[in-house]
Amino acid sequence: MRTDIEEEEEILEVKATKYKWFVLFFATLGTLMATINSGIILIALPNIFKGISLNPLTPGNSSYLLWMLMGFLMATAVLLVSLGRLGDLYGRAKMFSSGFAIFTFFSILLSVTWLNGSDGALYLIAMRIGQGIGGAFLFANSGAIITDAFSSSQRGLALGINSVAGVGGAFIGLVLGGLLAPIDWRLVFLVSVPFGLLGTIGGFLVLKDTREKIKVKIDWLGNITFALGLILVLISITYGIEPYGGHTMGWTSPVVLSEMASGIVLLIIFAIIELKSDHPMLQLSLFRIRSFAAGNFATLLAALARGGLMFILIIWLQGIWLPLHGYSFARTPLMAGIYMLPLTLGFLISGPISGIMSDKHGARPFAVGGMLITALSFGFLDILPVNFSYIFFALTLLLMGIGFGMFASPNQAGIMNSLPADQRGAGAGTINTFQNSAMVLSIGIFFTLIILGLASSLPHSLTSGLIAQGINKNLAIKAGSLPPVGSLFASFLGINPVHALLGSAVTTAHHPSYLLGRSFFPSLLEGPFSTGLHEAFGFAIVAALISAFASTLRGGRYVHGETHGHLHIPHIEKTGAVAQVGTSDFDLLELESGLSLEEEMGH
């Protein structure tokens, strides 16, 4: 007969099994909701600006466009480490569930604005930053609560599913944005509200903090210096893309340079503070763990390669390829999302599979292989003509999605497995901070390279093309001398900029309908865009290869708290070691390897 103890252990085991899948459901829902929002905004921007009666191509208005995109990423990147550490201190489940509530609250506010023009844009930017704060609560704690709930033998699968939601959500958002925004731009914000309410209610009712909270003081000085330093760096990147004086971009602006320098100095001060603090926001000693340090560096480089990709592909499709293949500018936002779906399909295929395989064989072979495949796919994109055959473009995106999926899931699982249980929140926040900050930097780099390519030949091509069509020479020269960033943003928004450049003078052309049609501007843009495209893809290839090299340095399979040579110990579940629902068995093991904790961390 079974004893009461055995029956009780069986009940605990069933509860633990059910609970971990609830954790994965809510964590994936939060990630999916936040990333769908990031993709949906890219496609919906033309309708949003039309809805608030603001022309984004008017000089000076491009900053509103940038902040609509960057504000969310910036708020998220700045708060991730701090909120992850607060989750360690006060409870990850509560912090995560609060993220649903904050995100939903600001989603509702985004849909109810009555303001127009620049006031409306500023209001939306402020609410987007609020959404970013909610997203930070979600991203900072999702990886940690998954890691708490799943044993190391299943974390790769769980984190793989969560990673698939992260990347897949962004591309699902592109299609949703293209469908909803033409109906009513407010729908792109309201669509997340039902899911946010489900996550808020369900999260507070179901999710539990299975680990004892840490009772230490908050490192306020470290939090403040880190936030201010990163804010200044990210702001400088944002305004570096903008024209400055008579310059194409703002990288020579004293304000931009001083913001960048001040931000870097503050981040150095932050590192010094953390080294001397008794209760640091981020334990810099974690970087002595080989898997943690190498994994985060690989994350940084992978995000640099990938961060600006979506923007470039949208510009490529909406500004050139789709109009040249018969699509009106009004239809290009939706069609761009549909034509980019092979990238999501590749990720959906490889993400969970590589996560499962990494649970058995470790992260290194998959992380290295994934980034090598990614570098190869960037090479294929680089040799494609701007006016490509879609089948080759689709196959290249599919291959790229497979590469990113192979890297993302095992890499995150490897990093989280290497962390002590009481540092998982800060560690997960660190991963996402590296990723989000690098994405902002990547957008700045990609845009800079593309704009430099446009600036080299677009002004002459545009001026000559307009004169050939009968436009007054002085007006054509004036239109050609405008900063190419306007043309770039027009392509990004799926707008033909010729009417904005010429106004009523377009009627004086030999063939006005040709100037305003689908082929004139995309044909002019094709050559100059190709120059910048080669530079951007070359940068991405180098970043992906360095990421692959960093992944080789992570060492073999390592899980913090596991004994060497005993990667799976089934009898633990029968000894009563699993005392709490959702607690990973391996984290309750004592070190039996004979190594000190310091030596184990350096393994």
Residue 262 has pLDDT above 70, yes or no: yes
Instruction: Specify if 602 maps to a domain.
Output: no
d(CA 300, CA 439): 9
Look at residue 567 and tell me if it is in a domain.
Answer: no
Same domain as 364, residue 226 = no
Question: Of residues 137 and 216, which shows the higher confidence score?
Answer: 137
Helices 62-90 and 484-493 cross at an angle (nearest 10°) of 70
In a domain, residue 77? The reply is: yes
In a domain, 270, yes or no: yes
**pLDDT band, residue 590 (cuts 50/70/90):** very low
The verdict on 426 and 548 lying in the same domain is: yes
Q: Tell whether 470 is covered by a domain.
A: yes
Residue with tokens 């509530």: 101
- Looking at the fold, whether 437 and 496 belong to one and the same domain comes out as no
Give the SS3 label for residue 566: coil
pLDDT at 567: 37
Other C-beta atoms lying within 10 Å of the C-beta of residue 421: 20
Confidence class for position 55, pLDDT limits 50, 70, 90? confident
Q: How many domains does the chain have?
A: 3
Fill in the DSSP letter of residue 151: -
- Measured between alpha carbons, how far is 346 from 168 in angstroms, rounded to an integer? 10
Q: Are residues 179 and 322 in the same domain?
A: yes
One domain for residues 424 and 490? no
Mean pLDDT within 571-589: 34
Q: Which long-range contacts (CB under 8 A, 24 or more apart) does 62-65 make?
A: 62/242, 62/485, 62/486, 62/489, 63/239, 63/242, 64/118, 64/121, 64/122, 64/125, 65/489, 65/493
Provide the residue range defining the domain that includes 229: 219-280
Residue pair 263/441 in contact by the 8 Å Cβ criterion = no
Mean pLDDT of all residues belonging to the chain: 80
Whether residues 75 and 157 share a domain: the answer is yes
Sequence length of the chain is: 603
CB 170 within 8 A of CB 358: no
**Looking at the predicted structure, is the pLDDT value of residue 4 above 80?**
no
494 and 532 co-located in one domain: no
Task: Give the start-end residues of each E strand in 339-496.
Answer: none
CA 34 – CA 438 distance, rounded (Å): 18
- Assess whether pLDDT exceeds 60 at residue 14: no
What percentage of the chain reaches a pLDDT higher than 90?
Answer: 20
- The pLDDT-based confidence of 596 (bands split at 50, 70, 90) is very low
d(CA 397, CA 161): 20
Structure tokens at 401: 């999605």
- Angstrom distance (rounded) from CA 84 to CA 99: 12
The pLDDT value given to residue 97: 92
Q: Is the pLDDT of residue 591 over 90?
A: no
CA–CA distances in Å: residue 112 to residues 51, 69, 418: 12, 19, 45
pLDDT attached to residue 394 = 95
- Let me know if residue 139 belongs to a domain: yes
| Residue at 601 is within a domain | no
**CATH number of domain containing 285:** 1.20.1250.20
Tell whether 263 and 204 lie within a shared domain. Answer: no
What token pair was written down for 384? 């494609």
Torsion on CA atoms 509, 513, 517, 521, rounded to nearest 10: 0
Nearest to 317 by CA among 567, 560, 38, 525: 525
| 427 and 544 housed in the same domain | yes
Token pair 């058995």: residue: 360
Query: Any bridge partners for residue 247, and if so which?
Result: 244
- The DSSP secondary structure of 372-400, one letter per residue, reads HHHHHHHHHHHHS-SS--HHHHHHHHHHH
pLDDT value at 126 more than 90: yes
Q: How far apart are CA 132 and CA 480, in angstroms?
A: 37
Mean pLDDT calculated for residue range 504-530: 81
494 and 348 in a common domain: no
Question: Quick one: tokens of 36?
Answer: 């769908």
More confident residue, 110 or 588: 110
Which segments of 262-313 are extended strands (E)?
none
Tell me whether residue 298 is in a domain: yes
Residue 560 half-sphere exposure, CB side, CA atoms within 13 Å?
A: 25
If one compares 556 and 469, the residue with the highest pLDDT of the two is: 469
Q: What value does the mean pLDDT take over residues 82-105?
A: 87
Average pLDDT over residues 226-247: 83
Same domain as 84, residue 69: yes
- Domain match, 109 and 48 both: yes
